[in-house]
Amino acid sequence: MTNEEKIEYVIHYLQQKLKESFVYPFNIIYEQKQLQFVIKNGQTECRARTKDSEEIMRTVLEGNEEEKQILTDRILQVLQAAVSAQESTVLSDISDYEKIKSELILRPLSWRHHKEEIRDVPYIRMGDIVLVLYAVMAHVGSDYFTAKVRRSQMADWKHSESEILEEALMNTAFLYPPRLYSLEDVLHWEHKHHEDGMFMGEEPAVKLHSGIRGLVLTNTLELNGAIAVFYPGVAEKIAEGFDSDLYIGFTSIHEAQVHPVGMVDPDTIRESLQDINRFCNRSDEILTGRVFHYDRTRKSFGMMVDGERREVYWDAR
């Protein structure tokens, strides 16, 4: 079979298997190398992308019946959880903030690529990166369903946007703690444990060492993990471990590579970022092509532009 025929077969197989138990109308599409499930619940449409599309394809095409059943049961569980969350107060226009605040998180997006779609969504802007307010609709294993929270849904919350965003950032850090790995760890660890890569609880800070490739910062899910750079105290802790200011290359929305200043030139990092964004990332995974700088004395971020540092301010709106 050609690749197109394989995709068509997988979509048809999942449609037939899932519709036996899932009562809501849905379609499965394949965009940007990902399987996406589009669910229709009344007038509301929910779209969810799977992190492990390649594994799903492989299981359907090559797995035995038991493996296929386990897969469809897992997808069904996530779809049902998404609908249940949608039907709850999580995204209701009259939601009680105290009831839903534990479901609020921030996700990192590119300002340039997403500025039109977030006009009515609260966010924190850091240069050309925005940390956007979302509500978690379902979270089963590594499958992850979220929806943007719009200002019209916040009318009765009686809290300022800046307060909501700050609390959502803290909540994100609590739900998905930061993890720091060497590149060799990332490439060779097949089964990392939850505690691997922990570094925030060490006092004093563990002395960090890296080669020219730096260290990889993400979160426990390795999903939307680039936001960990902006978790309270994280950049400060890493800078303390390196005993140096930092250069930060956001290699995707999922992770960042962190370098001590003096180990590698920022232009080299920028050129590497350009190649990664051009050849490795889907368009929705690109965060920025700029190299960020963290000043440990001032505890502030900047962007490197034409060889000079430009201060980046915490802009919540």
> Do 252 and 289 share a domain, yes or no?
yes
Nearest to 46 by CA among 157, 164, 131, 144: 144
Residue 221 lies in a domain: yes
**Residues 254-272, buried b or exposed e (16+ Cβ, 10 A)?**
bbbbbbbbebbebeebeeb
> Do 163 and 189 share a domain, yes or no?
no
> Do 37 and 107 share a domain, yes or no?
no
CA torsion 283-312-255-39 (nearest 10°) is -50
Residue 142 lies in a domain: yes
3-state helix, strand, coil in the chain (%, to 5): 35, 30, 35
Angle at Cα 38 formed by Cα 36 and Cα 41, nearest 5°? 155
> Do 244 and 129 share a domain, yes or no?
no
Alpha carbon distance 68, 66 (integer Å): 5
- Of the three residues 87, 116, 135, the one that is the final residue of a domain is 87
> Do 214 and 292 share a domain, yes or no?
yes
Alpha carbon distance 132, 149 (integer Å): 9
pLDDT given for residue 31 in this prediction: 80
Residue 92 lies in a domain: no
Number of neighbouring beta carbons within 10 Å of residue 107: 20
Residue 72 lies in a domain: yes
Domain total in the chain: 3
Longest dimension (CA), the chain: 60
Mean pLDDT in consecutive groups of 10 residues from the start of the chain, 317 residues: 91 89 81 79 62 88 93 86 62 69 93 92 96 81 73 88 95 94 70 73 72 86 94 96 96 95 93 93 91 97 94 84
> Do 190 and 309 share a domain, yes or no?
yes
> Do 168 and 183 share a domain, yes or no?
no
Alpha carbon distance 18, 277 (integer Å): 35
pLDDT given for residue 202 in this prediction: 66
Alpha carbon distance 93, 228 (integer Å): 30
pLDDT given for residue 205 in this prediction: 66
- Of the three residues 175, 198, 229, the one that is the final residue of a domain is 175
Q: What is the dihedral sign for C-alpha 249, 176, 144, 60?
A: positive
Domain that holds residue 120: 97-175
Burial degree of 221 (CB within 10 A; 0-12, 13-18, 19+)? middle
Alpha carbon distance 84, 140 (integer Å): 13
> Do 194 and 304 share a domain, yes or no?
yes
Residue 289 lies in a domain: yes
> Do 38 and 75 share a domain, yes or no?
yes
Nearest to 255 by CA among 146, 145, 178, 148: 178
> Do 144 and 234 share a domain, yes or no?
no
Check: CB of residue 122 under 8 Å from CB of residue 165. yes
> Do 136 and 208 share a domain, yes or no?
no
Amino acid at 235: A
Answer whether 0.95 is exceeded by the pTM.
Answer: no
- Of the three residues 38, 67, 87, the one that is the final residue of a domain is 87
Residue 194 lies in a domain: yes
> Do 187 and 259 share a domain, yes or no?
yes
